[in-house]
A and B are shown apart, each in its own frame.
Chain A
Amino acid sequence: MTFIIPIGPQHPALEEPAHFRIEVKGEEIVGVDLRLGYNHKGIEQGLSDRSYAHGLYLSARVCGICNSTHSLAFTRAVESVAGIECPDRARYIRVIDAELERIHSHLLWAGVAAHEIGFTTLFMLFWRDRELSLDMRELLFGQRIYASGTYLGGARVDIKEKDIPQLIRTLNKLEKSVKHYIDVCTSDRTIIARCSGVGVLKKKDARELCAVGPTARASGVDFDIRRDDPYAAYGEIPFDVIVEQDGDVFAKVVVRLREILESIDIIRQAIDAMPKGAIRTKFPENVPENEAVGRTEAPRGELMYYVRSNGTNKPERVRIRTPSYANWPSVRPMLVGGTIADIPIVVASIDPCFSCTDRVTIIDTKTGKSRIMTKEELRRLRK
């Protein structure tokens, strides 16, 4: 007899609301159903109501942790549509911005994952080091979380010479910490027991279900937009794409921690290679009719913006496909056959960002109604 466990919309394992209906027999999971839409904000519609400059800020608010990448992808698409190229120094600043964000996102994720397997000490230690990455963002871009350093036609702020020694010192400190964490995670018995062989996503499933980012790379799918479709200054900075073959949660942990080390390396190279010069060019107010796609490698995977312009200062249509959205179908093969105890860590292993997933349209104030719907849904489930 199967038994249904509701995970969410309110649950300690989830940072944002979603609803999983998990069918279980004893501790084993036999079926998964996912409901999204609790964080529906109406951003795609909102972007076509606002000018491009205003839209830049709105696109950054799709997600709290990937804000730099969102505004960068939007900028990439809009600059393609308008036929504008930003100056060289700005391209390097964008790289530094994006990689700092990747470091922050992966450290945050690592802490959350440690919490999901009940290892609160490691959670606290990861987040202590996350403060270092936030300090760097504040130093360079003036803000800890919403630091997006991109602007249409260039970068928002310039990186000052006097800040660079402090940046390098912090990067070195962070690199030592992360190397220590990699040692801890690969040798601690309880972590290996909880993560190894759990939530396996086979390479065939990852490719068919179009998984992206570290989720796909941990299953042996060699896919990274920074290398395949280079943007900003990535074409000029050599780096390694980290790929693991096992596809389990442990592989995903290793991929993300090693990517932090790669990011630190990329930032160092970018600082050395950064040319002097202007950081912005003029961006026209009205953009001629055209369409283009801008893609970036967000911390969670491939992020795509499609922009269609119509000659005015507002876009005709903006379509956002976030990496978390693409990774949801992969959750089902990862969960089925596992146990309840594995649900939090498996769901966390794709690094879900519901904020990113639910950003499609609701026009009027029906958002209030959707909250009431949630309670009804729960009441229906209880019976």
Chain B
Amino acid sequence: MFPGILFAGAVGLLFAGIDRKLTGHMQNRIGPPIWQEFLDVGKLFGKEDITPTAANSFVFNCAPLLCFGAIMAVMLLLPINSSQPVLTSVGDLIVIIYLLNIPAVCMMLAGYASGCPFGTIGSSRYMVQLLGYELAFIIAALAAAAKVGWSLSLSSIVSYQAQNGWMVSQVALIPAAIAILIAAQGKLLRAPFDIPEAESEIVHGSLTEYSGPKLGILRIAYDIELFVVAAVIVVLFFGGPVPHTIYGIYIPGVVGFLIKCLGIVVLSTVIRNIAARLRIDQALKFFWTFPTLLAAISLFLVVVT
């Protein structure tokens, strides 16, 4: 079960809870306790399962499950405890990037299948935003891979970093690190890029018609995605899981890994709380200039040197 559903679920929900608590303090209020997310998701599972009549029920019902499945698959492909993940294959990185897009596509289909205008608009915004952040994300990831001689296997990236220090400590890769952090903010639909789910404009975007257990599954999938995207960034740029021995006590790699992931999540939370939401056209323009350029610069520098 490790690093299976229980681990991923627990960590994801815990990180989301920490995010909410931190947000509360940044907003000069107390905020919910850090296990609030567990309670909320538990409550959702206890509710009645409703499918609106106007919705295309097959797609509507499958979307949450596909989302969840894809995220769990990515969990299994990540090196969490040591430089060996649970599953490996050739071209890990590409598979991960592909799998990370499945939840987004599922949400879009769900939005269209909801039969409500807010879902449609949320989905179309999501598509536009995907075009924005994905390019920056992929180029930044490729820059890290290029450093290791174009190896797309995550274990080789982690091993390289264990010997040569974190990727981000190499000057050529700093722009890529910044770019991937910004792209991650877009991927996770957090302010200033929470446009597809803009609550004050389109209720909840693609998720408007979801309630009860289906919404619970989507919530867990979203929280695990928070952990997973942070994990991917840590693996690519911040060293991945590295075991340490402090004062003679062996600390397995996963502890350091989780701490680093938490650091990325906290950074994302801080950005989320100090920015207003952008409009979709502004977001797209922003993504295609700033982060994409940074990532491309990194890639260029890595290839050239």
Contact = CB atoms under 8 A, between A and B. Distances in A.
Whether chain A touches chain B in the assembled complex (some CB pair under 8 Å): yes
Given A13-B201, A124-B29, A191 B117 contact: no
Contact of B27 (A3, A125, A190, A191): A125
Q: Taking each of B23, B54, B275, which has the highest tally of chain A beta carbons within 10 Å of its own beta carbon?
A: B275
A339 B117 contact: no
Interface in A186-203: 188, 190-191, 193-194
A3 B192 contact: no
Contacts of B198: 118, 341
A117 B280 contact: no
B77 to A, nearest CB: 33
Nearest to A339: B279
B129 to A, nearest CB: 12
A3 B28 contact: no
A26 B281 CA distance: 12
Contact of B200 (A12, A26, A122, A190): A12
A161 to B, nearest CB: 33
Contacts of B232: none
A370 to B, nearest CB: 23
Nearest to B128: A27
Interface residues of B, number: 31
B303 interface: no
A93 B205 CA distance: 49
Pick from B54, B117, B121, B276 the residue with the most CB of A within 10 Å.
Answer: B276
Nearest to A381: B117
Contacts of B23: 120-121
A340 B276 contact: no
A342 interface: yes
A118 B29 contact: no
A118 B280 contact: no
B277 A340 contact: no
B301 interface: no
A15 to B, nearest CB: 11
A118 B117 contact: no
B172 to A, nearest CB: 28
B121 to A, nearest CB: 6
A115 B120 CA distance: 23
B51 interface: no
Contact of A118 (B200, B274, B281, B282): B200
Interface string A22-52: 0000110000000000000000000000000
A118 B203 CA distance: 12
Nearest to A115: B200
A115 B194 CA distance: 13
Given A344-B200, A382-B54, A118 B27 contact: no
A190 B202 contact: no
Interface string B267-280: 00000011111111
B26 interface: yes
Given A118-B194, A118-B198, A121-B27, A191 B276 contact: yes
A3 B124 CA distance: 13
A115 B200 CA distance: 7
Interface string B96-121: 00000000000000000000011011
A201 B117 CA distance: 28
Q: Give the size range of A's interface with the partner.
A: 20 to 34
A13 B200 CA distance: 5
B158 interface: no
B273 A117 contact: no
With a 10 A CB-CB cut-off, give which of A121, A194, A342, A382 has the most chain B CB atoms.
A121
Interface in B175-230: 191-192, 194-195, 198-203
Nearest to A189: B275
Given A12-B199, A118-B192, A121-B273, A190 B28 contact: no
Which interface residue of B54, B192, B195, B200 has the most chain A CB atoms within 10 A? B200
A381 to B, nearest CB: 9
Nearest to B286: A193
Contact of A128 (B28, B124, B192, B280): B28
Contacts of B273: 120-121
A340 B276 CA distance: 16
A4 B191 CA distance: 27
Interface in A168-190: 188, 190
Contacts of A26: 124
Contact of A6 (B117, B194, B274, B277): B117
Contact of A193 (B27, B201, B203, B282): B282
B278 A190 contact: yes
A116 interface: yes
B275 A119 contact: yes
Nearest to A338: B279
B250 to A, nearest CB: 42
Given A6-B117, A27-B280, A194-B277, 16 more contacts: A114-B276, A115-B200, A118-B276, A118-B277, A121-B23, A124-B28, A125-B27, A128-B28, A190-B192, A193-B278, A340-B201, A341-B198, A341-B279, A341-B280, A342-B279, A344-B201
Interface of B: 23, 26-29, 54, 117-118, 120-121, 124, 191-192, 194-195, 198-203, 273-282
For the complex of A and B, 9 pairs with smallest distance between CB atoms: A118-B277, A119-B276, A124-B27, A190-B276, A341-B279, A117-B276, A121-B273, A344-B200, A13-B200
